[in-house]
């Protein structure tokens, strides 16, 4: 729809949530409408940017959206600072090392050769089923690309 808008057009929606994925997205979208010379009307929310009152209401919504973004940012920064004070740091937990991936591959071979249930291997390695299979996929790709993983895993 946005690609087909021209100056002087009016975008009409039933409710605000029908147009934007979030308040931030909606504010950005209507801001781009304004730059393009396109008006915006939300029937259910009584917002009509063709009038000064409608533009005021929308700008109030935009101000609240900006305020909300700043609050979230401040809370996030405060939470991270608190975590650092307690010796924790953010980010993803490190994944398995290449050695651990080789161990996962060897465990799969063991499960196939000796009928060891995958659930037992997962428990031994401390991995979820999805993570275990993701690492197996990695090792199979490595095997296909250079053929070295099997030799290392069998030692």
Is position 92 within any domain?
no
Work out the percent of the chain whose per-residue pLDDT is above 70.
86
In this predicted structure, the answer to whether residue 110 has a pLDDT above a threshold of 80 is: no
Residue with tokens 């799969």: 108
Looking at residue 74, its pLDDT comes to 95
Looking at residue 39, its pLDDT comes to 92
Residues 138 and 123: their CA atoms lie apart, in Å, by 19
Looking at residue 151, its pLDDT comes to 44
Is position 74 within any domain?
yes
The pLDDT confidence band at residue 72, using thresholds 50, 70 and 90, is very high
Same domain, 19 and 63: yes
H-assigned helices in the chain: 23-36, 52-85, 98-114, 118-125, 129-146, 149-153
Per-residue model confidence as pLDDT tens digits over 24-35: 788 888 888 989
Question: What residues pair up with 48 in beta bridges, in sequence order?
Answer: 41
Which of these three, 61, 85, 109, is where a domain ends?
85
- Residue 79 CA from chain centroid, whole number: 20
- Please report, for the domain that includes residue 19, its CATH number: 3.40.50.1390
Same domain, 69 and 127: no
Domain that holds residue 149: 98-153
Are 102 and 149 a contacting pair, CB within 8 Å?
yes
Same domain, 134 and 61: no
Same domain, 70 and 104: no
């Amino acid at each position: 729809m946005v690609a087909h808008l021209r100056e002087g057009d009016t975008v009409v929606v039933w409710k605000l949530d029908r147009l934007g994925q979030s308040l931030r997205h909606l504010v950005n979208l209507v801001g781009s409408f304004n730059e393009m010379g396109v008006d915006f009307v939300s029937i259910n929310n009584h917002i009509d940017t063709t009038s000064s009152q409608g533009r005021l209401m929308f700008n109030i919504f935009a101000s609240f959206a900006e305020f909300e973004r700043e609050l979230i940012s401040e809370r996030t920064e405060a939470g991270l600072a608190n975590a650092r004070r307690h010796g924790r740091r953010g980010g993803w937990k490190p994944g398995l090392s290449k050695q651990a991936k080789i161990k996962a591959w060897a465990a799969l071979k063991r499960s196939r050769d000796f009928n060891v249930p995958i659930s037992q291997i997962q428990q031994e390695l401390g991995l979820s089923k999805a993570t275990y299979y993701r690492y197996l996929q990695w090792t199979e790709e490595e095997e296909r690309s250079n053929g070295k993983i099997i030799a290392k895993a069998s030692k």
